[in-house]
Amino acid sequence: MKADAVFEGGGVKGIAFIGALAEMEAAGYEWEKLAGSSAGSIVAALLAAGYSSGEMKEIFTRMNYLRLLKTKGWERLPLVGPAAGLLLRKGLYPGSELEAMVADLLRRKKVRTFGDLPPEKLRVIASDITAGKMLILPDDLASFGIDPHAFPIARAVRMSCTIPYFFQPFLLKHSNMVHYIVDGGLLSNFPVWLFDVPGIPRWPTIGFRLHDQAQENEFTRITGLLSFSKALITTMLEAHDRLYVKKAHAVRTIFIQTLGVKATHFSLPEKVRTDLYQSGQRAARKFLERWDFERYIEVYRKPSTKATFLR
């Protein structure tokens, strides 16, 4: 069955998506349009390039997340380097390693730019904090005078994954204005509405969302600038999990328990990765037990229904 897919952000917890994808693929689902925010954009990009869930399991199981925190030159100096990066470039780490890693993975499938994919195949969400608005890439690149088809997908993913303070913002210059681009999760961590069309859809949009009840009642003691910054980043990355999801969106969403894992836990042990993968599998199986596309259309998409959609 054809379906569109939208992936929420979640940092290193993204391997949980792969477990869910494996179950969905086993059930016969084939992905048409794909979208992702933050870490979800990595999964969406690899799927769009032609990676299977099995191939991605190997990638995410062996991935050295600490590589993404690699610095160069004076930024390598202990304590001084990261602090200077934060003060001078508004982020601890450059983010170039993430772009290089994604570019290498895409290159193996002979994909580099959005133009290498079928039209409208992939959408990546980022946040323009200069203009105070969400960016849908590649569509919104034209407003910066950039050819959307020629733009590297890995760069768009980097922009979407640029956690404020943690990674240095990506800069886009246009009309003598510098636009600071950061993590898509800042403004829209779960854009499951992105592929909605008026009337009755030909196939469903399935949302993949990370959730952890264990973190709902956690508190952070603020004692200084460091703890304040840490709490700010954690809130941005995790608070979306606690937001109410409209019922019309919830019924088409796979909710995956993330077992207390933090989005920035870059030294993720192999066992934890396996646990997250299996959690994704369980969530997808549970979803498939109740999912009924025809019933969804009858209740939420027929013109006579009183239900409304976020547009």
Residue with tokens 């646990």: 275
Active site residue ranges: 38, 183
Structure confidence at residue 307 (pLDDT): 44
Structure confidence at residue 82 (pLDDT): 56
Strands 165-167 and 133-137: unpaired
285 contacts 254 by C-beta, under 8 angstroms: no
* Residues 35-85 pLDDT 10s: 999 999 999 999 999 999 999 999 999 888 777 776 554 445 444 555 555
Higher pLDDT, 6 or 231: 6
Structure confidence at residue 260 (pLDDT): 86
Using the predicted structure, report yes or no on whether residue 265 has a pLDDT greater than 70: yes
Q: What is the 3-state secondary structure (H, E, C) of 130-156?
A: CCCEEEEECHHHHHHCCCHHHCEHHHH
Strands 253-257 and 133-137: unpaired
What whole-number distance in Å separates Cα of residue 76 and Cα of residue 93? 10
Measured CA to CA in angstroms, residue 115 lies from 49, 107, 112, 126, 160 at distances of: 12, 14, 8, 19, 19
pTM over 0.75? The answer is yes
Per-range mean pLDDT, top range of 36-50, 221-235, 245-259, 296-310: 36-50
Domain spanning 2-301 has what CATH number? 3.40.1090.10
Domain boundaries, the chain: 2-301
